[in-house]
Amino acid sequence: MARPVVGISGNAYFLDDQYPVQACGVYNLDAVSEVCDATVIVVPCLPHLNPIEDLMDVCDGFVFTGARPNVHPEEYGEQPTEAHGVFDRDRDAVTLPLIRACVDRGQPVLGICRGFQEFNVAFGGTLHPEIRELPGRMNHRMPPDGTLEEKFALRHEVSINKGSPFARIFAAERVLTNTLHGQGIKAAANRVVIDGRADDGTPEAISIKGAPGFALAVQWHPEYNASKDPVSRALFGAFGVACAVWRTGKGMQRTS
């Protein structure tokens, strides 16, 4: 059987500051192709293009990536401020219902950074606009200077709950990760289980309670150096297996 097909959320950019495009980071593409052993497509986050059901029929799983724009606070009942940064309402309109629909169906989904935050908002949670301003929190943002290697360097540990899906995937109760985010979970949604935290208490790994399939998200960026970093490789590998199992089930439905 052919490799599973994984859709990766696109993000809005302007080419030459004027031509609108939908794009995805190559690190995400490489991680899914090489570690998940999957065929990759970039899903344009433009709600007028594709019905959610069509996307789910085409893809076996989805990765919701990081992005510079943040989830609009109106999605979780708050008003925007300067601290919330910039937004992408088209991405909100695609990813939030797509996450909910995939979880309900049991179709594999993996959230990364903004995708992690989308998981929480999709099920009714809220976000802090700037967690480094909270007492006792470290600065989780990307270092402003340095090479990409320095910006994506492993910077802090995450404590993983015993018995959680992440503990099984990582076979460890503490893992070392990078950190490149400004926002974070404020109130976890009822269905969101916080399975891992940084030492300052910031939620870093979550799963969805009662999800019939793979539904995990991390606040860090495992796509960087994914084939060589043992934590990233384990996470994408487990997601790839889940997507392959889903594809096998679809094939059985077609032939039955």
Instruction: Spot the catalytic one: 36, 59, 102, 113.
Output: 113
CATH 3.40.50.300 fits 5-255, yes or no: no
113 is catalytic: yes
Closest C-alpha among 97, 92, 131 to residue 114: 92
Name the band, by pLDDT with cuts 50, 70 and 90, for residue 245.
very high
What is the C-alpha to C-alpha distance for residues 38 and 235, in angstroms, rounded to an integer?
14
221 is catalytic: yes
Domain boundaries, the chain: 5-255
What is the C-alpha to C-alpha distance for residues 155 and 191, in angstroms, rounded to an integer?
29
- Mean pLDDT, to the nearest integer, of 125-137? 92
Dump pLDDT digits (tens) for 148-192: 898 898 999 999 999 999 999 999 999 999 999 989 999 999 999
Name the band, by pLDDT with cuts 50, 70 and 90, for residue 146.
confident
Helix 114-122 to helix 89-105 angle (10° resolution) is 70
CA contacts within 13 A on the Cβ side of 94: 26
Question: Tokens standing for 101?
Answer: 């629909």
Residue 82, pLDDT score: 80
Instruction: Spot the catalytic one: 118, 140, 221, 243.
Output: 221
Cα separations (Å) of 41 from 23, 38, 90, 104, 169? Answer: 11, 10, 18, 22, 25
72 is catalytic: no
Q: What pTM was estimated for this model as a whole?
A: 0.95
How many helices (H) and strands (E) the chain has is answered by 7, 13
Measured at the alpha carbon of residue 246, what is the angle toward residues 244 and 247, in degrees to the nearest 5? Answer: 65
Statement: residue 251 has pLDDT above 60:
no
Are 229 and 222 contacting, i.e. CB atoms less than 8 angstroms apart?
yes
| Farthest CA pair distance, the chain | 58
Dump pLDDT digits (tens) for 83-104: 787 889 999 999 999 999 999 9
The average confidence (pLDDT) of the chain is 94
Name the band, by pLDDT with cuts 50, 70 and 90, for residue 255.
very low
Dump pLDDT digits (tens) for 36-82: 999 999 999 999 999 999 999 999 999 999 988 999 999 999 988 88
